[in-house]
Each structure stands twice: as structure tokens, then as C-alpha cells.
Amino acid sequence: MRIAELRCFVSRSSDAALFTLTGILLSAFAALGEPVPGTLPAQWNIGAEDCVASPQAPLQVHTYEPQTVILRQSPCANFEANFIYLLIGSDKALLIDTGAVADPKAMSLAKTILELLPEKDGKKLPLLVAHTHRHLDHRAGDPQFASLPSVEVVPFDLPGVRAFFGFNDWPNGIAHIDLGGRTVDVIPTPGHNQTHLAFYDDRTGILFTGDFLMPARLLIEDAGAYRESALRVIDFLKTRQLTHILGGHIELNAAGRAYRFGSHYHPNEHRLELTRADLAGLPPAFERFNGFYARYPNYILTNPVHNLAALGFIVLVVLGVAAFGLYRFLRRRRA
Ligand SMILES: [Zn+2]
Ligand SMILES: [Zn+2]
């Protein structure tokens, strides 16, 4: 063996040793019941002021730890800039949401996910595709997975969700997804949307919350159900370790100000991860809620239907006052 070959062999051996050592260490965390640690970037892809002049990769792929991958859609690809999560077990993988872009030419989500899936017995690991809820920005990528072998897509309508996970007493009860050496608990969390689910991963101690809790506008469909969901999740987490709460979007800057709706540029973006304290703050926030809008450092509560109704009412009052003024003006002129 020549020196160069020997050096290459030694370096490859030390890479393999490091990889094995990392694997042993992570398994040790799991065996001890401690969440497997991971890293989050200080800054995600924040889009651009001019997406044409500064083209962006449509998907940012971040490995939190070897078996947990976070994908972020560029705000340039779609203003919703969804976060998509891939959890890999030893028998199966789970994809939480498929994002806001349907066209595989604009964003090859399925291809990217398949490349990330490890092989077992010479075949790609089976994949389950689930959704936090039925809103289109969380399932537009579904058709990319439709005809793939060993991929199962959970229905997005409420009867389909209930039947798939076996929720007989919705929104009570917890379902479990066994990925092999890794269990993901599924918790009904209606309030933003009737079909909403949160996912708790026992490997990393992360709670994936979709649009239920995130550094963004929390759009309320049913305030009572939302508060009840928060209380159920708080109760569920009482006996569990929680490392991070990771949601579906970031719509706030670091100072807690929301970006303009539809913005493709998120300068100085708020961190993605929220904490147990943010979750604990939800029920009291709902108790104080005026039904329209409330701003907190890490999220904004807003009821779009109530706000629209209030705006409609204001427009009607202004039009009424204007019409009355015009009527009086015309009467005075005639007189
Ligand atoms: Zn939504
Ligand atoms: Zn959403």
C-alpha cells in the first residue's frame, strides 16, 4: 500500500469509526430515555426581496440529527414557506406535511424525501405521509407521493383522519405510530382547523405543532376547541420530556412583528422553536382573548372571520354616514 492510499484508508477508517461512535452515542441517549440531541440553524432560508434577481433553492434540507430531517420551503417558492418534517425509524419513516407547492418541477419534494430515506434489506424504508391538518399549504405536495411504492398517504378529511388513526372519541385519545425503535404520538388539536393534529416524537422529545402553535399568526376557527386542545397537550406533556415545539411556519421577525401577508422575504426572522412556556401561555391567552386580535412576543392570536365581520361593519357605518351626509347636502341645495 502506497503512502497516499494508506492515508486515505486511515482517514476513511477514522470517518467510519466516528460515524459508528456517533451512532453508539445516540443509541445510548435513546436507551437512557434521554431525548436524542440535535441542532437547529440560527437562520433558515429567508427568501429574498427580489426572488427573480436572487434565485433561491426551493427546499432547504437540515439534518437535526441523523434520523430527523427538517425541510423548509423557500419563501420565494411559496410565501407560506412551510416546514416539513421527516422522522426515520428502523422499520418505517414518517413525513409530517407535504407543503404548499404541488409541481414537482418547481419543488421536487418526493424525490428529495426518497433520496433521504435509508435502505433496509435492499429496499427503501416504507414511508407514511401524514398531515398536521387539511389546509392546502400542508398537503399540496401529496400527489407527488401518490403512485410511489411503499408510500402510504393518510387522508386529510376528518372522517379519514379519525378512521386511519382509530380516534373513536375525537378530539380525545392519543394514537401511536410505531416507526421501529421510535414512537410518534398523535394528539388531536382542533381549533385552527377541525382536522388538526400534533405529533410528539419520543426519540427527540420534539412536539410538531403545524399551525396550532408557531411563531406566526395563530388563525382561530374555534376558540373554545383551541383552548381545550392546548389544555390536552399541556396535560399530555406533563410526564414527558420536551426539547422543542416546532410548527409549520414562521411569520414573525425577531421582535415579534408579523411580515406582510404574502411576503416572499423574511428579514431577521424569529426562531422556529418555541418552548413549554409558550404552550402554557395559550390557555390564559384564550381566556383573555377579545375575539379579534392579541399580540404576544412569540405569536399573534387572530380570528380572521371576526376581523372580516368587524371590517365589514366599519365599512357599512362609513358608507351609511357618507350617504346620510350626501342626502342632507342635496336636500339643503334643493331648499
Ligand atoms: Zn392552516
Ligand atoms: Zn399553514
Going from the Cα of 303 to the center of ligand 1, the distance in angstroms, rounded, reads 13
Collapsed DSSP state (helix, strand, coil) of residue 21: helix
Q: What is the pLDDT of residue 17?
A: 54
b/e code 217-237 from CB counts within 10 Å (16+ = b): bbbbeebebbbbbbebbeeeb
Q: What is the pLDDT of residue 31?
A: 60
Going from the Cα of 135 to the center of ligand 1, the distance in angstroms, rounded, reads 5
The neighbouring-strand residues paired with 177 are 184
Q: What is the pLDDT of residue 20?
A: 53
Going from the Cα of 132 to the center of ligand 2, the distance in angstroms, rounded, reads 9
Going from the Cα of 80 to the center of ligand 2, the distance in angstroms, rounded, reads 7
Going from the Cα of 82 to the center of ligand 2, the distance in angstroms, rounded, reads 7
Going from the Cα of 91 to the center of ligand 1, the distance in angstroms, rounded, reads 30
Q: What is the pLDDT of residue 30?
A: 59
Going from the Cα of 10 to the center of ligand 2, the distance in angstroms, rounded, reads 48
Q: What is the pLDDT of residue 8?
A: 38
pLDDT in tens, the chain (335 residues): 444 443 434 344 455 455 455 555 555 665 667 999 999 999 999 999 999 999 999 999 999 999 999 999 999 999 999 999 999 999 999 999 999 999 999 999 999 999 999 999 999 999 999 999 999 999 999 999 998 999 999 999 999 999 999 999 999 999 999 999 999 999 999 999 999 999 999 999 999 999 999 999 999 999 999 999 999 999 999 999 999 999 999 999 999 999 999 999 999 999 999 999 999 999 999 999 999 999 999 999 999 888 787 778 888 888 888 888 888 888 888 87
Whose atoms come closest to the Cα of 81: which ligand? Answer: 2
Going from the Cα of 26 to the center of ligand 2, the distance in angstroms, rounded, reads 32
Going from the Cα of 121 to the center of ligand 1, the distance in angstroms, rounded, reads 38
Going from the Cα of 19 to the center of ligand 1, the distance in angstroms, rounded, reads 39
Going from the Cα of 84 to the center of ligand 1, the distance in angstroms, rounded, reads 13
Going from the Cα of 291 to the center of ligand 2, the distance in angstroms, rounded, reads 21
Q: Pairing relation of β-strands 293-295 and 217-219? A: unpaired
Going from the Cα of 133 to the center of ligand 1, the distance in angstroms, rounded, reads 7
Going from the Cα of 217 to the center of ligand 2, the distance in angstroms, rounded, reads 10
In DSSP notation, 131-183 reads: -S-S-GGGTTTGGGGTT-TTEEE---SHHHHHHHHT-SSTTSS-EEEE-SS-E
- Omega before residue 118 within 30° of 0, cis: no
Going from the Cα of 211 to the center of ligand 1, the distance in angstroms, rounded, reads 5
Going from the Cα of 100 to the center of ligand 2, the distance in angstroms, rounded, reads 8
> Which 8-state DSSP code applies to residue 5?
H
The neighbouring-strand residues paired with 68 are 65, 87
Going from the Cα of 142 to the center of ligand 2, the distance in angstroms, rounded, reads 15
- Distance of alpha carbon 318 from the chain centroid: 40
Q: What is the pLDDT of residue 88?
A: 98
In DSSP notation, 241-285 reads: ---EEEES---BBTTSPBPPTT-SB-TTBPPS-B-HHHHHTHHHH
Going from the Cα of 17 to the center of ligand 1, the distance in angstroms, rounded, reads 44
Going from the Cα of 283 to the center of ligand 1, the distance in angstroms, rounded, reads 19
In DSSP notation, 56-68 reads: --SEEEEEEETTE
